[in-house]
Each structure stands twice: as structure tokens, then as C-alpha cells.
């Protein structure tokens, strides 16, 4: 019987506890999972694709049957190239649904043989968004509820204020 491979695409800028919840639950549904980090995105990511991949790999250590890669171009082409049959999309709140539903219908039009599966994030993580996390980190707020300690450390490093130097008077 062929293995059922799923792709979980996203920017993951940064990876959140909600993303990790979707990854863990996807691994119970599919034989293999590829976390596909979008390289070319209209968003302006804080972290490079390599940094995002590194963060994700650090967070999923020990999980079998999972890969982390970056991709560019049309998602459907990437899914086909990986011989996957399913796209996993996480839903946090109702406002996510309309956008995700439109994208799933478009993908179905392009590739009727590839399914999209929606997973609702656990209610503990429904309020978490990468955009809010970056703002909290920028302003020096606590991150423990939103990201793991490793990701929090990377965020703090990114937003560390440069030291001011006194200019010599002369």
C-alpha cells in the first residue's frame, strides 16, 4: 500500500505553538509529513527561509516521518513533485476559513487529485498569530504562551536593540 504523504505549507515566521499542534496532529493522520516553508512570499518575513527551517527542525527533533523544506512557486506543483496527495491547512478562527476555503477551491481546480484537509488548532492556541507574536517580541513582552523557549530566544535576538554609543564631543 502506498504511503500517504501530506504537505503542511506556510511561512512559519516564526513557528508557533499552534503550528506545532497542527504538525503533531497531522503526524497521527498521515504516513509522512513535509513542512513546506514558503520561500517566495508576498509577506515580508522577519526570518530568512533558512532561519525558519532551522527553527522548525529544532522544534520537531525526535519526530519520525517528517521533513522540513523550503519551496518556491505554485504549491500544487511542489505537492506533485513530492508525490504527496494532501495539503494540510490549520484553522485558528472563523476569519481564517474564508481565505483558506477559497485557496482550497482554487487548488482543487488546478489539481482535483490533491485534497486539502483542514485541522482546527486546539483552543489553547486559537488566538496565536505570528504577526502578533512578532509585535509582542518587538515590544519586549512575554512569549512563553505563544512559542517555545528556543523560538522566543531567536525572536529576542532579532529585536535586540543596538547598544547606543556616546559620541565624543569635539
Sign of CA dihedral 137, 139, 142, 146: negative
Looking up residue 95, the CATH number of its domain turns out to be 3.40.50.620
pLDDT of residue 124: 87
- Count: domains in the chain: 1
Q: Do the domain assignments include residue 106?
A: yes
Confidence of residue 125 (pLDDT cuts 50, 70, 90): confident
pLDDT of residue 166: 47
The catalytic residue among 17, 89, 92, 134 is 92
* Interval 71-99: pLDDT, tens: 999 999 999 999 999 999 999 887 778 88
Specify whether 63 is catalytic: no
Q: Do the domain assignments include residue 29?
A: yes
- Tell me if 8 sits within 8 A of 118, measured CB to CB: no
Q: Do the domain assignments include residue 27?
A: yes
110-134 exposure pattern, b = at least 16 Cβ within 10 A, e = fewer? ebeebebeebbbeeebeebbbeebb
Q: Do the domain assignments include residue 165?
A: no
Confidence of residue 63 (pLDDT cuts 50, 70, 90): confident
Give the global pTM.
Answer: 0.89
pLDDT of residue 127: 84
pLDDT of residue 62: 87
The mean per-residue pLDDT over the stretch 146-162 comes to 88
Q: Do the domain assignments include residue 21?
A: yes
pLDDT of residue 65: 92
Specify whether 19 is catalytic: yes
Domain interval for residue 51: 5-125
Is the pLDDT at 168 greater than 50, yes or no?
no
Is residue 40 helix, strand or coil? Answer: coil
Q: Do the domain assignments include residue 73?
A: yes
pLDDT of residue 5: 95
The catalytic residue among 89, 130, 134, 154 is 130
The catalytic residue among 43, 127, 138, 153 is 43
pLDDT of residue 164: 42
* Interval 30-55: pLDDT, tens: 999 999 999 877 778 999 999 999 99
The catalytic residue among 19, 52, 89, 154 is 19
- Tell me if 17 sits within 8 A of 132, measured CB to CB: no
Q: Do the domain assignments include residue 109?
A: yes
What is the residue-wise DSSP string for 90-122?
Answer: EE-SHHHHHHHHHHHHHHHHH-TTSEEEEEEPP
Q: Do the domain assignments include residue 118?
A: yes
Amino acid at each position: 500500500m502506498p504511503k500517504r504523504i501530506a504537505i503542511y505549507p506556510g511561512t512559519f515566521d516564526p513557528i508557533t505553538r499552534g503550528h506545532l499542534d497542527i504538525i503533531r496532529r497531522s503526524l497521527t493522520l498521515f504516513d509522512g509529513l513535509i513542512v513546506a516553508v514558503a520561500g517566495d512570499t508576498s509577506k515580508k518575513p522577519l526570518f530568512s527561509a533558512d532561519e525558519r527551517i532551522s527553527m522548525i527542525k529544532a522544534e520537531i527533533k525526535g519526530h519520525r516521518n517528517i521533513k522540513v523544506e523550503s519551496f518556491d512557486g505554485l504549491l500544487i506543483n511542489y505537492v506533485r513533485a513530492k508525490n504527496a496527495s494532501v495539503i494540510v491547512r490549520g484553522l485558528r478562527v472563523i476569519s481564517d476559513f474564508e481565505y483558506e476555503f477559497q485557496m482550497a477551491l482554487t487548488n482543487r481546480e488546478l489539481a482535483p487529485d490533491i485534497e486539502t484537509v483542514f485541522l482546527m488548532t486546539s483552543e489553547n492556541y486559537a488566538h496565536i498569530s505570528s504577526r502578533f507574536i512578532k509585535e509582542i517580541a518587538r515590544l519586549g513582552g512575554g512569549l512563553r504562551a505563544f512559542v517555545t523557549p528556543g523560538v522566543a530566544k531567536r525572536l529576542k535576538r532579532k529585536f535586540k536593540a543596538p547598544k547606543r554609543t556616546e559620541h565624543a564631543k569635539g
